[in-house]
Structure 1
Amino acid sequence: MNISMLTSLTHHYKAFVLMLLLTLLIAGSANAAVLNQNKKVLFIVSSDKSGFWLPEVVEPYFLLEQAGFKMDIASPLGGKGKASGASRLSHEQETWFLSSKLQNQLDGSIPLNEVMSNNYHAVYFAGGSGPMFDLLDNKQAQKITREIYERGGIISADCHGPAALINVKLTNGQRLIEGKNITAKANVEEGFWARSNYPFLLEDKIKQLGGIYSAGKKSKPHVVIDGRLITGQNPASAIPMAKSLIVMLGGQNKG
């Protein structure tokens, strides 16, 4: 066998291996998408007049949908709440949002008292100013969070969304965030309105209640994972937070 024949065989072998790997990758992605279709994530947004931050809903929702997951939207009162931050969406995000089912889901969100927690593998609390008022002590949100967590599900939140987590207590009486690594909106990121109207700043309260708080640079992405608790610091953290959630949900397929 001469050198040219060996070279030809080598090229064909490499091409075969590459095609095989590509086929396996596509098959694996398809199988993951099928498995993910059986998993639902509950998004909870505020009903307060101060509103929820729309990009922190749109960005995670889009990524989760692309990964094959199904989502429901719930809020304390149900129905349509006040969406803030629409101007912060990119042109592509706005175009997608206006043609997506998410818009209708936000207009007709499920009241928390109608949510069946056993339908969901994870819950996600979006930020905005609203959670600092109507999700801090919301018993229904706390019950949903506790039940999902104690059933082996994932708890996630971004920016002011962790306000919904600080008063959640497990059935053993321990606070969910106690001894947990967690992030949320940093003190340095809060402006005059927040300092004048919020009952407290999240960074201070988390530390006070026994959470292990950390923050990254101001307005830069910072995500903290502790077991099945995933939190993001600010709006810039919504996308990496969602990616972490997708990875963790995908890992459950192997369990």
Structure 2
Amino acid sequence: MKILMVLTSHDQLGDTGKKTGFWVEEFAAPYYILANAGAEITLASPNGGQPPIDPSSTTEDAQTDATRRFDKDEELQKKLAMTKKLEDVEASNFDGVFYPGGHGPLWDLANDLKSISLIEDFNQQMKPMAFVCHAPGVLANVEDHKNPLVRGKNVTGFANSEEDAVGLSDVVPFKVEDKMNQLGANFSKGEDWSSYVMVDGKLITGQNPASSEKAARELLRMLQKS
């Protein structure tokens, strides 16, 4: 199993002067689930090199077993510091793809032409794709036969109520729930901050950090089936 994980390179939280990036739990939990199952994982980001970590994901209340394992894992930290450039990876070399969230992807990956074409290629090749928390937002400009990829699909993602709770509804370029509804997706959500995952064909979406583990297990299940 060869899996691509795509991380954001964006580190500015709008014009607040605060930092953002990817959410550690949404990277670490899926990474370990997939790696423990024997998957070969390649990390990539738009700029290559070290992707920015969202400082909010390193606070005490955001810690999990996976993040604590990551904090001690020098090998994975070295690997993370050397992500490949997105332009140097092709869908044909992988069996599936996983996009962790954090607010960063809303600014760069949602509009990144290489990311968009990469997802379209994975979709065309009928390979499983997983997006967690804010990462479903990277599907905003992805098409399937000239229609939005998510149109008519059962999806979830970071809910408006969760965005309101973290006080960033007026900061983000768009809210994931609103965008999915605008594009004609069948958006649903579970309770705020609880694990909630939707699977529609080869498309897997998770609502929030608590959903990252389940989303990774769904991806693994699909890969092992094929």
Q: TM-score, normalised by structure 2?
A: 0.89
- AA aligned opposite 2:181: K
Distance 1:66 1:160 in 2: 25
Q: Deviations 1:185-226 (Å, cap 9, x if unpaired)?
A: 000001364212112211011101111100000110100000
- AA aligned opposite 2:93: N
Give me the identity figure in percent. Answer: 33
Unaligned runs of 5+ in 2: 12-19
Q: Is residue 64 from structure 1 mapped to residue 34 from structure 2 by the alignment?
A: yes
Q: Deviations 1:78-114 (Å, cap 9, x if unpaired)?
A: 1112112134333664235533532122111111111
Q: Do 1:58 and 1:97's aligned partners in 2 also have CA atoms closer than 8 Å?
A: no
Shift of 1:136: 1.2
SS in 1 for 2:143: coil
Distance 2:122 2:153 in 1: 17
Q: Do 1:72 and 1:105's aligned partners in 2 also have CA atoms closer than 8 Å?
A: no
SS in 2 for 1:63: helix
Q: Is residue 78 from structure 1 mapped to residue 48 from structure 2 by the alignment?
A: yes
Residue from 197, 202, 214 that aligns with 1:240: 214
Which residue in 2 is equivalent to 1:166? 140
Which residue in 2 is equivalent to 1:176? 149
Which residue in 1 is equivalent to 2:6? 44
Q: RMSD over aligned Cα, in angstroms?
A: 1.5
SS in 2 for 1:197: coil
Q: Do 2:137 and 2:179's aligned partners in 1 also have CA atoms closer than 8 Å?
A: no
TM superposition outliers: structure 1 runs of 4+ over 4 Å: none
Distance 2:102 2:65 in 1: 21
Q: What is the aligned length?
A: 213
Distance 1:220 1:188 in 2: 13
User: Which of the pair is proportionally richer in helix?
Assistant: 1
Which residue in 2 is equivalent to 1:103? 77
Shift of 1:116: 2.0
- AA aligned opposite 2:126: G
Structure showing greater radius of gyration is: 1
- AA aligned opposite 1:225: V
- AA aligned opposite 1:41: I
Shift of 1:166: 2.1
Distance 1:59 1:173 in 2: 34
Distance 1:132 1:111 in 2: 18
Q: Deviations 1:17-70 (Å, cap 9, x if unpaired)?
A: xxxxxxxxxxxxxxxxxxxxxx21110111001200011000000000111111
Over 3 Å counting, the alpha-carbon distance change for 1:76 and 1:92 in structure 2 is closer
SS in 2 for 1:190: helix
Structure 1 residues 138-149: aligned runs within 5 Å: 138-149=112-123
